């Protein structure tokens, strides 16, 4: 049996993705479409290339697919739009399924989110909290999941009581897209660091909450996409008016590159951040109460808020794909949960190998002319890093999700704050934006507050220790936190080997780790993508599989 899970248009119109699960519930392959078509967030594009990759990885054809699981109830949101499932599949996925089309299972959006988190977790029973912009009929839900039992929906909150809407409004007030909520979170840290006083815009009482912008009257269970869009626009506009009143301005007074110097911008970002932190803290406690267990899983776009995740007590798990791409995985698992769970968290390395099929924009781009190639030597890479050079790594199968987890990463030694400046210049991004560190488990316990699971995927902010601030200032943000990754065993061979080499040399085994991509580009996927990005960016070296590439200097030597 083969189940293809998708986040796909018309409902899943951003972060489209495909995931292939076999009859045992084992994940064979998973990719976001943006990695393949090289278009950030892949807006309004069907996950055709991602689905083809999944099929190629399994060695099957589209005709072998038994079920396509969709992470939305498309019939509610688009009633009557498609005459039958074949027409829907042609629009949403685009594969030729042959004469025997698969059955289509429409999984409610929050159910797919919840499944993606629980079944990826190490827990046998957990409360699951889903918080995002909206599903079909809700913005926050509480679930109980247990191996061998049907998931139980415990509690819901209406769409327009959305923490995602409140955060979208702050992001757009700041001049960002709603898809750039991470920038809002990074800017909010300046408010925390400066002790900025903010107005509380949420009322918490008796396992419930009410936001300052109250919910609208909603058509629960029958709202269409058009009605939801209208209510989204109305609610976000009301939140923007509230932020305008708080700041005394309708937008920032300084350009994007200087927003950290703009007290009005920092105030709005921190106000929105506090709404999320206060509410999610309360919802997490409610989830544990209703489920009757301490183990907690998070999912939904709001679960990408590392600062909030880092404030929650454990045991806590967030999957590498808590955002909408993750419903491709969750929908497949909702149809066919994993039968033999190991108690280990999901490996994120489920994407394309560097030598996998090239996307349409990277075909023929694997040209190494003009570059100096040598066999990979970890001691040489370590020496280059200790000289202050900044390099990139592309090895093996790509990690899934928005965080680079050392198989598609830019790395540097973070022993000075200046390295942060240089890497921001290399990536052509605002200087006020932070970076995170990666190390081994033993040393990580000395650098920052321990996180049992969040640091596996860089999804939780942790307070840096005095040692962390001293030896790795390049990955400590203005509020004293970092968003760490702890690298286990040989999950990412080159970076792990460099960390071990640093330790053997008596140097703190910690590296700056950020995504390997240029401005406005998705994280690199294949060999061709990596070489193109290396040429375009001011990077000193590239680890590509088992090879090392460097650029020639003006005299014909290496930089």
Q: Which residues are catalytic?
A: 14
**Helix, strand, or coil (residue 379):** helix
Task: Kindly list the strands in the beta sheet with 485-486, ordered across the sheet, starting from the edge strand earlier in the chain.
Answer: 371-375, 547-551, 541-544, 391-394, 408-412, 510-515, 436-439, 485-486
SS3 of 218-265? CCCCCCCHHHHHHHHHHHHHHHHHHHHHHHCCCCCCCCHHHHHHCHHH
For the packed helices 327-335 and 109-118, what is the interaxial angle rounded to 10 degrees? 90
Alpha-carbon distance of 107 to 160, in angstroms, equals 21
**Helix, strand, or coil (residue 478):** coil
Alpha-carbon distance of 523 to 401, in angstroms, equals 10
Q: Is residue 372 within 8 Å of 541, Cβ to Cβ? A: no
Alpha-carbon distance of 330 to 278, in angstroms, equals 27
The residue count for the chain: 559
Q: Is residue 270 within 8 Å of 297, Cβ to Cβ? A: no
Burial of 555 (0-12, 13-18, 19+ CB in 10 A): exposed
Exposure string of 394-405, with b = 16+ CB inside 10 Å and e = fewer, is bbbbbbbbbbbb
Which residue is associated with the tokens 């910690």?
510
Residue 117, number of CB atoms within 10 A of its CB: 31
Alpha-carbon distance of 376 to 136, in angstroms, equals 50
Alpha-carbon distance of 76 to 254, in angstroms, equals 43
Alpha-carbon distance of 474 to 418, in angstroms, equals 7
**Quick one: tokens of 206?**
């008796």
**Contacting residues for 525 by C-beta, under 8 A, at least 6 apart:** 35, 36, 38, 351, 352, 354, 356, 359, 362, 398, 408
**Helix, strand, or coil (residue 115):** helix
């Amino acid at each position: 049996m083969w189940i293809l899970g998708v986040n796909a248009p018309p409902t899943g119109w951003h972060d489209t993705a495909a995931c292939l699960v076999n009859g045992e519930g084992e994940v064979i392959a998973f990719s976001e479409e943006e990695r393949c078509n090289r278009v950030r967030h892949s807006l309004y594009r069907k996950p055709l290339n991602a689905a083809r990759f999944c099929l190629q990885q399994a060695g099957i054809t589209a005709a072998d697919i038994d079920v396509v699981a969709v992470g939305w109830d498309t019939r509610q949101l688009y009633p009557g739009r498609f005459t039958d499932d074949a027409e829907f599949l042609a629009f949403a996925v685009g594969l030729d399924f042959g004469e025997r089309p698969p059955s289509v299972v429409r999984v409610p959006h929050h159910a797919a989110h919840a499944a993606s988190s629980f079944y990826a977790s190490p827990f046998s029973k957990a409360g699951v909290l889903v918080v995002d912009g909206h599903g079909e009929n809700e913005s926050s839900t509480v679930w109980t999941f247990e191996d061998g039992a049907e998931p139980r929906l415990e509690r819901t909150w209406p769409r327009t009581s959305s923490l995602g809407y409140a955060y979208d409004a702050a992001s757009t007030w700041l001049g960002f897209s709603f898809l750039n909520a991470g920038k809002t979170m990074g800017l909010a840290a300046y408010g925390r660091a400066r002790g900025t006083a903010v107005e509380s815009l949420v009322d918490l009482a008796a396992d419930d909450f009410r936001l300052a912008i109250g919910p609208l009257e909603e058509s629960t269970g029958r709202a269409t996409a058009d009605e939801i869009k209208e209510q989204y626009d109305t609610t976000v506009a009301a939140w923007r008016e509230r932020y305008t009143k708080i700041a005394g301005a309708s937008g920032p007074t300084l350009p994007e590159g200087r927003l950290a110097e703009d007290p009005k911008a920092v105030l709005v970002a921190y106000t929105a951040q506090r709404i999320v932190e206060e509410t999610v803290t309360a919802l997490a406690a409610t989830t544990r109460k209703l489920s009757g267990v301490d183990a907690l899983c998070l999912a939904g776009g709001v679960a990408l808020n590392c600062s909030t995740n880092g404030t929650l007590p454990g045991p806590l798990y967030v999957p590498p794909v808590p955002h909408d791409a993750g419903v491709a995985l969750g929908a497949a698992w909702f149809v066919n949960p994993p039968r033999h769970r190991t108690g280990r968290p999901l490996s994120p390395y489920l994407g394309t190998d560097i030598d996998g099929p090239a996307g349409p924009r990277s075909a023929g781009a694997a040209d190494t002319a003009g570059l100096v190639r040598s066999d990979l030597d970890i001691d040489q890479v370590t020496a280059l890093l200790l000289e202050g050079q900044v390099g990139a790594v592309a090895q093996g199968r790509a990690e899934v999700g928005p965080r680079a987890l050392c198989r598609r990463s830019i790395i540097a030694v973070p022993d000075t704050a200046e390295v942060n400046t240089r890497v921001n210049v290399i990536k052509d991004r605002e200087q006020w934006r932070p970076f995170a560190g990666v190390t081994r488990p033993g040393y990580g316990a000395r650098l920052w507050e321990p996180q049992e699971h969040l640091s596996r995927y860089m999804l939780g902010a942790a307070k840096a220790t005095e040692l962390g601030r001293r030896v790795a200032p390049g990955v400590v943000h203005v509020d004293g936190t970092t968003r760490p990754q702890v690298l286990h065993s040989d999950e990412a061979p080159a970076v792990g080997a460099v960390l071990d080499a640093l330790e053997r040399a008596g140097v703190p085994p910690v590296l700056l780790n950020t995504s390997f991509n240029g401005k406005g580009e998705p994280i690199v996927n294949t060999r061709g993508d990596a070489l193109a990005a290396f040429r375009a960016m001011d990077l000193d070296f590239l680890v590509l599989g088992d090879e090392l590439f460097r650029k020639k200097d003006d005299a014909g030597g290496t930089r």
